[in-house]
Amino acid sequence: MKRISLMLAFALLVTMGFAQKKDRTSAYNYYRNGRYDKAMEYIEKTITHESTMNEAKTWAFRGDIYLQIALTDKPQYKSLSDNPMQIALDSYKKALSLPDAKDYMPDIMTNMNVLAEKYFNQGVTEYKESNYSASTASFLKAADVKNELGVIDTVALVNAVSAADLAKNSAASLEIGQRLLSLGYSSPGLYSSMSNAYKASGDTNNAVVTIAKGRQLYPADLSLLLSETNIFLSTGKVKEALNNLTVALEKDPQNVSILYALGTQYGELNNIEEAAKSYKKVLEIKPDHFDAIYNLGALYVNHAAALMAEANSIPPDKVKEYDAKKAEAFAELDKALPYLEQAHQMDPNDRNTMVTLKEIYARKSMLDKVKEIDAKLK
């Protein structure tokens, strides 16, 4: 009886093993006929059974099935899995780890390339939809799949950095950037990106070191020059920023942003003449540049205030000197007025403009204008 029982048990095992292989064949047939629901149902039975779970064929078929689920446009199949691309990738990787992988390697490699392209295109779509965090992950996946195939996909990694920057994910941007550098990739944009990421994360020292390295490698690149300038501006290094902006303007003399930045920096240094010259150049190129218009008016107002302070320090017995200095101050207010009135016309609700205009009107005894501004401020 024992012998019979053992023989029956052995027969049962053989039968079960045969059943699992049959399920795998059924999965493959359903897959070939485009019935991905049934193919998935049958292949899942084979990945945990001893007779099929350690064969590359099982996992290669499973990868193929889930890849098609990821690629299909048919809703009834697309909804079969929440993450078919990852399951396909994991299945192919499992297949490649098994002894008989060589028999299926060409097809697996081809299909993993298809996966990489799918991840890349998904990243592009997410990027266009401004879903930058998801785009970062997709581009990284594309690069990782290619890496499994022994291919370095710097294009996917560069795109991942760009998406991470827009997602304001400094940690990811730096991690991917370091990965690119370790692969021997280098570009002005990468150094600029990494410097900005360090700066955003509060690591000013590394931001300075990184941008300096980029400037050393690409001394003629304008974007790196401007990135370095922004670091100088944020750290209060006005003279260094001014030097860079002067160089940048030589490279791009019609750049309104550079001209405007020059104006603000000359203003910081109290160089009224150069500041005014820069703002006026901005307005030659872009006549409706509100900030340049307002700043130009404010520049003259501030200069007028400084001249009035000088006038008030003149001894009372030096009337001519006082009157002359006061006249200088009022001449500056006359210069400021048209710019500030223009700024007020452009943005009637800007309180800073109205407050400054009120001060000018009051000093010039233009009482009707003072009342008009007062009513608007209230």
Whether the domain at 15-103 and the domain at 288-378 fall into the same CATH topology? yes
What residue spans define the domains of the chain?
A: 15-103, 238-280, 288-378
Q: Which fold has domain 15-103?
A: 1.25.40
Give the pLDDT of the chain (378 residues) as one tens digit per residue: 444 454 444 444 444 444 567 778 877 887 788 788 888 888 888 888 777 888 888 899 999 999 999 999 898 888 888 899 999 999 999 999 999 889 899 999 999 999 999 999 999 999 999 999 999 999 999 999 999 999 999 999 999 999 999 999 999 999 999 999 999 999 999 999 999 999 999 998 999 999 999 999 998 898 898 889 888 888 888 888 889 999 989 989 999 999 998 998 899 888 999 999 999 999 999 999 999 999 999 999 999 999 999 989 999 888 899 889 999 999 999 999 999 999 999 999 999 999 999 888 888 888 888 888 888 887
- pTM flag (> 0.75): no
- SS3 per residue for the chain: CHHHHHHHHHHHHHHHHHHHHHHHHHHHHHHHCCCHHHHHHHHHHHCCCCCCCCCHHHHHHHHHHHHHHHHCCCHHHHCCCCCHHHHHHHHHHHHHCCHHHHHCHHHHHHHHHHHHHHHHHHHHHHHHCCCHHHHHHHHHHHHHHHHHCCCCCHHHHHHHHHHHHHCCCHHHHHHHHHHHHHCCCCCHHHHHHHHHHHHHCCCHHHHHHHHHHHHHHCCCCHHHHHHHHHHHHHCCCHHHHHHHHHHHHHHCCCCHHHHHHHHHHHHHCCCHHHHHHHHHHHHHHCCCCHHHHHHHHHHHHHHHHHHHHHHHCCCCCCHHHHHHHHHHHHHHHHHHHHHHHHHHHHCCCCHHHHHHHHHHHHHCCCHHHHHHHHHHHC
Which CATH number does 288-378 carry?
A: 1.25.40
